[in-house]
Structure 1
Amino acid sequence: MFTTRPVLTGTLGMVASTHWLASAVGMRTLEAGGNAFDAAAAAGFTLSVVEPHLNGPGGDAPVIGHRAADAHTFVVCGQGVVPALATTEAYRELGVTEVPGTGHLAAVVPGAFGAWLDLLARYGTLPLADVLGPAIGYARDGYPLVAAAARTVATVSDMFRAHWPTSAQVYLPGGVPPGPGERFRNPDLARTFERLLAEASAAGPDREAQIEAARRAFYEGFVAETVDAFVAGTPVLDATGRAHTGFLRADDLAAWRATEEPTVAVPFAGVEVHKTGPWGQGPVLLQQLRLLEALGVEDLVRDVVEREGRGADDRGGPQAELVHAVVEVAKLAFADRDAWYGDSADVPLDALLSTAYAVERAALVGAGADDGFRPGAPAGRPPRLARALVAARALADAGGPDGDGGPLGAGLGEPTVAPTGLTRGDTCHVDVVDRWGNQVSATPSGGWLQSSPVVPGLGFALPTRAQMCWLEDGLPASLVPGRRPRTTLSPALALGAGHGFAFGTPGGDQQDQWPVPFLLRHVVGGSDLQAAIDAPTWHSTHVHGSFHPRAHTPRGVVLESRLGADVPGALEARGHAVVDAGAWSLGRLSAAGVAPNGWLYAAANPRGQQGYATGR
């Protein structure tokens, strides 16, 4: 099969990410003697500077790591929690029935910076100055602004000028949006990072004491104080069409710390796939793998990969059959996500991931496209759905707006942005492996420049992740102070005996759809890492979007045309509503790990001409 790039192999280390500068910084860190945890943090800090439309230091960052020396696999949760003042009653008193996707009302505790510091303190080896230094340099001296970021700024520039002057000051230099490829600087962010480093240095020579001092300066010091004053004292326009102050306070930041948690994992095709807990959507990938295993798709996958490998023109039948199976499985798994996942209730995860439940659910997959919404009853517990979700589904079923259905709404992994800053959410990703076999997968996100105004003097925006919560009480994903919003962020590891790889992709709700064909091709079909990333892919838009207005397209399937000319027709004959998104349009996958033969290896997505893998 044709591939765009070789699989990189080596012995020192590998970094793959959604931006070439972050990959280069991660590799520089490995070459300086750092380990995978140092490199991931350095790349993560860099991403927070060079992809400001996709993440920021005030955003969110779930991280999955694997320490090879003792086979310790873990999650560092950098998802901030709902503020103490943000009760459902408080929103209702404002006349707000849904948490808006922009502005102060959606702000939660910023978790990304704390997550990177926690990873460094527990598992890193290098001083904070070495890890944070490259990000400071790019913020201070400038970097080439990617075209998608320039488009995002241009889209919201009128709102910045009229309503968010702190954002206009940073992102409209000279009063006009920067152009694609223009050298862009954020001196306020550079000064914030430099002040944090100064606080760290003042703590003395001990590395961990320095990291803790930087954490305190952020969460208990000048950053928290500035955030508090801005959110409590400055009303800003949000997606309700009105200006509001917010609920986030310095006490919320001071009370929060990144936590280390166990992963959730299931065996699949000779590896164990690890995800975060059901406070995020990560286990939905595991449910899909369980269902596909119950359906027995292995021979079908191998047939498709073999035909692709020899460039056969007769792959349409098997390919359409595989797409159908994966799409129908996604509908069932994501229905369970919407009914059961969240941090505000007990999630019956063991039942959801059990073999017996997978067999029971797989029996619902028929020959035609199902047009229903069928969450299950794990352990005999009946599902309860949010009223707003039921209403959104009814609207789409009646032919109303289908905001997630078209390829522009869920393509390369870039967010869909309205002039008001309303974003259908997206993120970035980084994977690292080092010479010792340590591995990291991280999906930093939030703090989008277009969804929250820049905090004056700090140079970054706040996370608007509370928009993921329901203002209906008693649901797993209900808004509850101190609880985490049910995020879409979904890093992953696949580990075998002495081998394995970190992987993931941006893409909102597609973060746990695009990896399914990738895993099937790589671990079942035997495609190499780059070929599995390059291969044409697809996703279902029948599943409900996690972002307002929670839309879906009944029976919708978005696919890349390289799947074959006869695939769309074959799927339509089964009842699917097919959208051709073009030849190279879906996903931003990357991966890095230890191959079964002992080589370190990595690959990255060519779509969008931005993601790169590097290593030696």
Structure 2
Amino acid sequence: MVDDMFRIPFISNTGLVVSEHPLASVVGAKVLSSGGNAVDAAIATSFTLSVLQPQLSGLGGDYFALIYIASEGKVYFINGSGYSPRSLNPDFLRSLGLKEIPPHTPYSITIPGMVDALHNMWSRFGSIEWGKLVSPSVKLAEQGFPQYPSLVRAVRENYELLAKDEGSKNTYLIHDIGVGKWVKFPNLGKALKLIAEDYRNFYEGDIAESIVNYLRSKSGFIELDDFKDYKSFWGESLRIDYRGYQVLETPPNTQGVTTLHILKLLSNINLSSIKLLSSEEVKLLLKCFRAAYRIRDKYVGDPRYVTKDLLGPEVINELLAEFEGTSANVVQRRNTSLGDTTYYVVVDKEGNVVSGIQSIFYSFGSGITEPKYGITLNCRGSSFTLTRGDVNELAPRKYPLHTLSTTLVLDPKGSLKWVLGTSGGHYRPQIHVELITSLIDYGLDVQRAVELPRFLWDLSTDELIVEGGVDVVGVNEVEVRKVNYPSRLGVAAIVEFLGNVKIGASDIRGDGLALSIEYP
């Protein structure tokens, strides 16, 4: 266990931004200092991250957020995930002999939802002119920024993938690669300028036409109407009681309910009596993880296809049967890449919060970049299955099971206590649970909770991945793979609320920063 913090949390009595890149945190904090609210700052932060972290997220990807409006004491959920093309038929893919959808093909690309979701948020809660919120990202794309370690590593690790696609090659491989070397994305800047003028330019104008034409040249199925018809949508968060706290998560098509299912299994166990990071804790959580993911793979997907109340007695009883080993359900062997995602939290001086997460799924998504505007497209459609009758079987204009989710925790009096999230792909619910239990059951402060060594169950290999500092003596149920601490097992962030004071913790596993430049 880590006894001393590697980072110092940022403490503010006004606003606060925690993101995975310092420049994005600065942009968001500047919006707050200029009088913008949390939603304004979140929009600016999102677009900025899309320029700074093209390997993780971007205009060609998805977005989700839980939004807390302090004056109402209410939480809103925005779903900016994309659906599959109308003309992509699973029978066609099966006729090619495919058993699953390859991520690095046009077949894996869903309609990007992030731009519409951000504008949807702005229309409801924004206070600063839309174009002014997009403009910092335009400037950054045009003028450039110094390359940082994670971006350099991602480009080098994916060099062959990027070199196969003309758009990706001419976007990412024309620069000298190295930490501190300057990189510009002028074509992306052109797209952002058009979006600043009118967000619908992304879905109905030259941007959409360019993407569709480029994908057609690669035998893709996305059509202009798929873009034109796309709309993000609002939904209701899910919540459960955990030891007197209310834990809120994102609903399907996200896997947020899996976090809640794991906590449900733990709620009747005195976890605090078990030593933190001990082999006993590892064995217990491993058993919970396995049970909850079996339920996820059986029921969770596009909300229009979810037929059960996922927190109702029937499903919870089935969850308990999984935990007790009396069920015959199996976990699907999915590719469990950590996912390439970026998470952030924005809090304004009024206590409004945006807990936002955006992604193109794998590193550089599909590996396909539309060259005119430099937009790298997601591979989220690879989360569909080609198994007949499966809840996540591919169908026209269907939303896939989504690994993105975020969490809010209310204290026993109903006040907002913690906001948290992480990168991590299919592992995300496990990381959320380890963060929540370290806070509630073990009483850690937010920075130590974020820095705590992690252990994660890999669905694809049925092995346990553990960072240094975790005791796995006697853990014989699965193969154990040890990694150095700190690893890249998710990059998390937490904000804690103590009255008017906000404490922001960023993760040593990433490049991020908690920051405020507001003053009382």
Q: Which 10-residue stretch deviates more, 325-334 or 218-227?
A: 218-227
CA contact (8 A) 2:365 2:379 kept: no
| Cα 1:365/1:90, change in 2 over 3 Å | closer
CA contact (8 A) 1:231 1:249 kept: no
Q: Which amino acid aligns with 1:535?
A: L
TM-score by length of 2: 0.92
CA contact (8 A) 2:300 2:306 kept: yes
- Identify the residue that residue 509 of structure 1 maps to in structure 2: 426
* CA distances 1:226-274 after superposition (whole Å, capped 9, x unpaired): 1121112x12xxxxxxxxx111111001111111111111121332222
Q: Which structure: greater strand fraction? A: 2
Q: SS where residue 446 of structure 1 aligns?
A: strand
Aligned counterparts of 1:97 and 1:587: Cα–Cα separation in 2: 28
Counterpart of 1:134 (choices 108, 133, 136) is: 136
Aligned counterparts of 2:237 and 2:311: Cα–Cα separation in 1: 13
Q: SS where residue 571 of structure 1 aligns?
A: coil
TM-score by length of 1: 0.78
Q: SS where residue 489 of structure 1 aligns?
A: coil
Q: Which amino acid aligns with 1:568?
A: V
Counterpart of 2:293 (choices 326, 329, 334) is: 334
Aligned counterparts of 1:220 and 1:46: Cα–Cα separation in 2: 23
Q: Which amino acid aligns with 2:346?
A: V
Aligned counterparts of 1:355 and 1:347: Cα–Cα separation in 2: 16
Counterpart of 2:384 (choices 469, 473, 493) is: 469
Q: SS where residue 274 of structure 1 aligns?
A: strand
Aligned counterparts of 1:191 and 1:284: Cα–Cα separation in 2: 40
Aligned counterparts of 2:125 and 2:235: Cα–Cα separation in 1: 14
Counterpart of 1:248 (choices 219, 222, 229) is: 222
CA contact (8 A) 1:344 1:477 kept: no
| Cα 1:151/1:373, change in 2 over 3 Å | farther
CA contact (8 A) 2:465 2:483 kept: yes
Shift of 1:342: 1.0
Correspondence 1:477-556 to 2 at 5 A? 477-496=392-411, 497-541=414-458, 544=459, 551-553=460-462, 556=463
Correspondence 1:232-381 to 2 at 5 A? 232=216, 234-235=217-218, 245-300=219-274, 304=276, 319-343=278-302, 346-350=305-309, 352-354=310-312, 358=316, 361-362=319-320, 365=323, 375=329
CA RMSD between the two structures: 2.4
* CA distances 1:461-513 after superposition (whole Å, capped 9, x unpaired): 22221111012232211111121111111122112322222210001111111
Aligned counterparts of 2:188 and 2:29: Cα–Cα separation in 1: 23
* CA distances 1:36-69 after superposition (whole Å, capped 9, x unpaired): 1111111111111111111111101111111111
Q: Which has the higher Rg, Structure 1 or Structure 2?
A: 1
CA contact (8 A) 2:191 2:373 kept: yes
Q: SS where residue 118 of structure 2 aligns?
A: helix
Aligned counterparts of 2:450 and 2:174: Cα–Cα separation in 1: 38
Aligned counterparts of 1:353 and 1:262: Cα–Cα separation in 2: 14
Aligned counterparts of 2:102 and 2:180: Cα–Cα separation in 1: 32
* Structure 1 segments unaligned to the other structure (5+ residues): 201-213, 236-244, 305-315, 376-384, 394-402, 411-424, 545-550
| Cα 1:172/1:332, change in 2 over 3 Å | same
Q: Is 1:222 aligned with 2:202?
A: no
CA contact (8 A) 1:290 1:355 kept: no
Shift of 1:520: 0.7
Aligned counterparts of 1:39 and 1:13: Cα–Cα separation in 2: 10
Aligned counterparts of 2:42 and 2:422: Cα–Cα separation in 1: 15
Q: Which 10-residue stretch deviates more, 528-537 or 86-95?
A: 86-95
Aligned counterparts of 2:38 and 2:424: Cα–Cα separation in 1: 24
Q: Which 10-residue stretch deviates more, 252-261 or 582-591?
A: 582-591
Q: SS where residue 199 of structure 2 aligns?
A: helix
| Cα 1:577/1:156, change in 2 over 3 Å | closer
Q: Which amino acid aligns with 1:41?
A: I
- Identify the residue that residue 18 of structure 1 maps to in structure 2: 20
Q: Which amino acid aligns with 1:433?
A: V
Q: SS where residue 87 of structure 2 aligns?
A: coil
Shift of 1:561: 1.5
Q: Which amino acid aligns with 1:527?
A: L
- Identify the residue that residue 94 of structure 2 maps to in structure 1: 92
Q: Which amino acid aligns with 1:477?
A: N
Shift of 1:158: 4.0
Aligned counterparts of 1:335 and 1:120: Cα–Cα separation in 2: 37
Shift of 1:359: 6.6
Q: SS where residue 62 of structure 2 aligns?
A: coil
Q: Which 10-residue stretch deviates more, 524-533 or 354-363?
A: 354-363
| Cα 1:180/1:343, change in 2 over 3 Å | same
Aligned counterparts of 1:345 and 1:373: Cα–Cα separation in 2: 26
Counterpart of 1:428 (choices 333, 342, 350) is: 342
CA contact (8 A) 2:77 2:236 kept: yes
Counterpart of 1:613 (choices 507, 514, 517) is: 514
Shift of 1:524: 2.6
Aligned counterparts of 2:102 and 2:429: Cα–Cα separation in 1: 24
Aligned counterparts of 1:607 and 1:452: Cα–Cα separation in 2: 24
Q: SS where residue 469 of structure 2 aligns?
A: helix
Aligned counterparts of 2:327 and 2:431: Cα–Cα separation in 1: 21
Shift of 1:34: 0.8
Q: Which amino acid aligns with 2:190?
A: R
Q: SS where residue 562 of structure 1 aligns?
A: coil
Q: SS where residue 61 of structure 1 aligns?
A: strand
CA contact (8 A) 1:102 1:464 kept: yes
Aligned counterparts of 2:161 and 2:5: Cα–Cα separation in 1: 42
Shift of 1:334: 0.7
Aligned counterparts of 1:562 and 1:119: Cα–Cα separation in 2: 41
Q: Which amino acid aligns with 2:255?
A: Q
Aligned counterparts of 1:156 and 1:320: Cα–Cα separation in 2: 36
Shift of 1:295: 2.7
- Identify the residue that residue 186 of structure 1 maps to in structure 2: 185
CA contact (8 A) 1:432 1:593 kept: no
- Identify the residue that residue 578 of structure 1 maps to in structure 2: 480
- Identify the residue that residue 173 of structure 1 maps to in structure 2: 174
| Cα 1:156/1:517, change in 2 over 3 Å | closer
Q: SS where residue 119 of structure 1 aligns?
A: helix
Shift of 1:364: 5.8
Aligned counterparts of 2:464 and 2:451: Cα–Cα separation in 1: 19
Aligned counterparts of 1:76 and 1:91: Cα–Cα separation in 2: 31
Aligned counterparts of 1:279 and 1:360: Cα–Cα separation in 2: 20
CA contact (8 A) 2:14 2:501 kept: no
Aligned counterparts of 1:559 and 1:342: Cα–Cα separation in 2: 29
Q: Which amino acid aligns with 1:249?
A: E
Shift of 1:430: 0.5
Shift of 1:593: 4.4
Aligned counterparts of 1:32 and 1:98: Cα–Cα separation in 2: 48
Shift of 1:187: 0.4
Aligned counterparts of 2:378 and 2:321: Cα–Cα separation in 1: 40
Aligned counterparts of 1:157 and 1:44: Cα–Cα separation in 2: 25
Shift of 1:602: 1.2
Aligned counterparts of 1:525 and 1:431: Cα–Cα separation in 2: 23
Aligned counterparts of 2:171 and 2:327: Cα–Cα separation in 1: 44
Q: Is 1:588 aligned with 2:502?
A: no
Q: Which amino acid aligns with 2:475?
A: L
Q: Which amino acid aligns with 2:341?
A: T
Aligned counterparts of 1:91 and 1:360: Cα–Cα separation in 2: 33
Correspondence 1:554-565 to 2 at 5 A? 556-563=463-470
- Identify the residue that residue 473 of structure 2 maps to in structure 1: 569
* Structure 2 segments unaligned to the other structure (5+ residues): none
Aligned counterparts of 1:159 and 1:60: Cα–Cα separation in 2: 21
CA contact (8 A) 1:294 1:359 kept: no
Q: Which amino acid aligns with 2:461?
A: H
CA contact (8 A) 1:282 1:490 kept: yes
| Cα 1:159/1:582, change in 2 over 3 Å | closer
